[in-house]
Amino acid sequence: MKNIKKVINKIGKSFISFVKYNRQYCSYVVLSLLCCLVIRFYTIGGIQKVQPFLIDLGFIVTLGSFGFFYKPQKQFGYYLILMIIYTTMGVVNAVYYTFYNSFASFSLLTTLGQVGEVGDAVFDKMRFIHFIYLLFPIMFIVIHKKLANKDYFNFIAKFEKGDKLFKQNLFTGIIIFAVSAATLSATAFSRLSKQWNREYIVDTFGIIAYQTSDLVNTLRPTITSWFGFDVAFKNFHDYYAENRLPKSNNSYTNIFKDKNVIFVHMESMTSFLVDLTINDTVITPNLNQLTKEGLYFANFYPQVGVGTSSDTEFTLNTSLMPASTGTVFVNYFDRKYITLPSLLKDKGYYTFSMHGNKATMWNRNKMHPSLGYTDFYSKTSFEIDEIVGLGLSDKSFFKQVMPILKGIEDNNQNYMGTIITLSNHTPFKNNEMFEQINLINGEFNYLEETRLGDYIRSSHYADEALGDFISYVNESDYFDDTIFIFYGDHDPKLSLKNYHDYYNYNFEIGEILTEEDENYIIYDYYSNELNKKTPFIIWGKNYKPSQKVDYYMGMIDIMPTIGNMLGIYNPYALGHDIFEIKNDNIIVFTNGNYLTNKLYYNSSKEEYRAMSLDETLSEEYLKKCKEYADKLIEISNGIIVHNLIKEDLKEE
């Protein structure tokens, strides 16, 4: 017992002595660790896990140990640089997480050019709390000045042995890593390498490990595009040998063969808006009418990553997943893809796309030709006579689009195009051109000054513009052989709290209901994820089936489904013709989550919410779905990063 006390006392004295003679280093460690804790707290919301704490500490200690190569007076600059790096990670990830509900990536630095286009949206989501991380290097500077004023550094220079302290701290860092690694599974390290689920990685490994792993993953293809090629190509061949989808053969096969096709990309339009009425005002009457007249897919989910709208365009046209790192439109635009426009172009179709914004937005000027569009009508093709949000208003855009479309029909036997709207883009700031819908019920004012209220007004305006376009089409002598496909590109990126408060606001008393109230509606993570579905409607002047389809469907399934209707086939499609797979579909998201008609699975927490509490799901079913989701992401990423379709076509 006495020996144990002696050991403890000796360790305590050694620790006190270390702190006394290394105050600058210790302040660096403590402040850096606090910075990492704050990053996790203000993003994923939890700091109770031991592993990420230890791994962050291991990195901080290990990197800090190299500071002992400098004399005490010179160590300040080295540690300050490290702290600035941690602070930058904090600010960037805090803002990025607020905007995208994910963590920033080095590969996304190539997309910074897009920030200028959506600057208002980014700044709108910035908060003072995002810059709390600046306090840590400021505090470090203050501590350094106080120590310098006391001549502390000249004092300890007499005692410090830099090489010994370097070895001790490096060894300590390695020990911390070893202890942390022993508590983690092989699955966790696999996820760290693949980088599919960033939230899981930060929650398990800490922010520094995530950012380091992300840097390695970003540099790998830059150093050599063939890194991992052989493994990816083998997996690619093995997958398609067993899973290549046959051509569909159902009641929808070839029903639109030789028809013209126009896709209408509806910015941020979600199913939440369908049939929504506030104070006797129908928010989206024209969208509602389309859902009743056309072939309406009521459980349709976009599968976007950080590329948002551009990811939708890519996935819709290729039946591949968005890239797990970076965005296809910016980072992988020069690859070979089999696409809807290119297959139709091979059949003699004229292909085009239209957007009232800059051609360089999301690198569309380069990516759209790669997708197979012959012409891209961008900002320079229109008169910018009316601005709403990020650019040309939808009403002016549709008005100017109509004569162009008529000219296209006059000069081409068949055509396929995509029209991309713009006005309903975040941050949905109120505009004098929006109808001032009454969002106040009686004396209470909840929606009037909320982001959800702004979104509702913005969506109402976008729907009015959509109605103008539909009227043009119906009243025109053109488009008798044209099929229009309307789809919402992604959810509006509103917070869970926005919807929670909306569903639980009691307008009679002007208060948000609490869990104790019998009328309280549970609106949690799973409710919010399921609420991200968007409208997907097939409609034409002479095609109004008034049919609702309830199968769960993802953006990746559009090309096989529509392709079957048009009589074209993509042998590399990873999605399914929804009328072939029906209720057996699995919708996979870029973070590893997946959705079926039975459950929503949260990959980060390895848990799920069943659609029906009365149904028990087997472990075999869960395992099958999880393996499918992981394999789909792996194969799709391999195709994108290593240009595997081009390589496969070479061998044929």
pLDDT tens figures, 402-411: 999 999 999 9
Question: Interior CA angle at 72 toward 70 and 74, to 5°?
Answer: 55
Task: Give the mean model confidence (pLDDT) for residues 119-135.
Answer: 67
Task: Give the mean model confidence (pLDDT) for residues 627-636.
Answer: 96
Q: Are strands 547-549 and 300-301 parallel, antiparallel or unpaired?
A: unpaired
pLDDT tens per residue, range 399-437: 999 999 999 999 999 999 999 999 999 888 766 778 778
pLDDT tens per residue, range 25-50: 889 999 999 999 998 888 887 777 88
pLDDT tens per residue, range 294-337: 999 999 999 998 888 999 999 999 999 999 877 899 889 999 99
Sequence spans of domains, the chain: 14-223, 234-651
Question: Which pLDDT score, from 0 to 100, does residue 19 have?
Answer: 72
Q: Which residues, 6+ apart, have CB-to-CB distance to 493 below 8 Å?
A: 99, 100, 101, 268, 308, 426
Question: Which pLDDT score, from 0 to 100, does residue 177 have?
Answer: 86
Residue 603, token pair as written in the block: 């990959």
Query: Which of 15-24, 298-307, 550-559 has the largest mean confidence?
Result: 550-559
- With a cut of 60, say whether residue 142 has pLDDT above it: yes
SS3 of residue 608 by DSSP: strand
- Sorting pLDDT into bands at 50, 70 and 90, what band is 119? very low
Task: Give the mean model confidence (pLDDT) for residues 574-586.
Answer: 98
Question: Which pLDDT score, from 0 to 100, does residue 113 have?
Answer: 55
* CATH architecture designation of domain 234-651: 3-Layer(aba) Sandwich (3.40)
Question: Do 413 and 482 meet the contact criterion of CB atoms below 8 Å apart?
Answer: no
Question: Which pLDDT score, from 0 to 100, does residue 213 have?
Answer: 82
pLDDT tens per residue, range 518-541: 899 999 999 999 999 999 999 999
Task: Give the mean model confidence (pLDDT) for residues 157-168.
Answer: 74
Question: Do 260 and 482 meet the contact criterion of CB atoms below 8 Å apart?
Answer: yes
pLDDT tens per residue, range 599-609: 999 998 889 99
List % helix, strand, coil for the chain (3-state, nearest 5). 55, 10, 35
* Per-residue DSSP letter, 543: B
What is the overall mean pLDDT for the chain?
A: 88
From 640, 587, 109, select the one nearest 370 (Cα to Cα): 640
2-11, 204-213, 238-247: segment of lowest average pLDDT: 2-11
- With a cut of 60, say whether residue 225 has pLDDT above it: no
Task: Give the mean model confidence (pLDDT) for residues 52-66.
Answer: 91
Q: Kindly provide the b/e burial profile for residues 563-574, where b requires at least 16 CB atoms within 10 angstroms of the residue's own CB.
A: bbbbbbbbebbb
* Amino acid in position 632: L
Task: Give the mean model confidence (pLDDT) for residues 8-21.
Answer: 68
- Sorting pLDDT into bands at 50, 70 and 90, what band is 615? confident
More confident residue, 1 or 161: 161
Task: Give the mean model confidence (pLDDT) for residues 623-627.
Answer: 95
- Sorting pLDDT into bands at 50, 70 and 90, what band is 111? low
- With a cut of 80, say whether residue 9 has pLDDT above it: no
pLDDT tens per residue, range 185-213: 877 777 777 666 778 888 888 899 888 88
- With a cut of 90, say whether residue 509 has pLDDT above it: no
Task: Give the mean model confidence (pLDDT) for residues 171-193.
Answer: 82
- With a cut of 80, say whether residue 183 has pLDDT above it: yes
Question: Which pLDDT score, from 0 to 100, does residue 104 have?
Answer: 78
Question: Which pLDDT score, from 0 to 100, does residue 116 have?
Answer: 46
Question: Do 499 and 528 meet the contact criterion of CB atoms below 8 Å apart?
Answer: yes
Task: Give the mean model confidence (pLDDT) for residues 456-460.
Answer: 94
Question: Do 425 and 389 meet the contact criterion of CB atoms below 8 Å apart?
Answer: yes
pLDDT tens per residue, range 335-369: 999 999 999 999 999 999 999 998 888 889 999 99
What residue has token string 């919410």? 609
SS3 of residue 353 by DSSP: strand
Q: Is the peptide bond before 302 cis (omega within 30 degrees of 0)?
A: no
Task: Give the mean model confidence (pLDDT) for residues 589-606.
Answer: 93
Hey, CA dihedral for 650, 563, 196, 86, is it positive or negative? positive
- With a cut of 70, say whether residue 176 has pLDDT above it: yes
Question: Which pLDDT score, from 0 to 100, does residue 623 have?
Answer: 94
Query: Which of 120-129, 154-163, 561-570, 597-606 has the largest mean confidence?
Result: 561-570
Question: Do 531 and 272 meet the contact criterion of CB atoms below 8 Å apart?
Answer: yes
From 230, 247, 246, select the one nearest 238 (Cα to Cα): 230
Question: Which pLDDT score, from 0 to 100, does residue 197 have?
Answer: 72
Task: Give the mean model confidence (pLDDT) for residues 496-515.
Answer: 85
- In percent, how much of the chain has pLDDT > 90? 56
- With a cut of 80, say whether residue 121 has pLDDT above it: no
What residue has token string 């063939």? 226
Question: Which pLDDT score, from 0 to 100, does residue 408 have?
Answer: 98
Residue 161, token pair as written in the block: 């042995």
Q: Is the pTM of the predicted complex or chain greater than 0.75?
A: yes
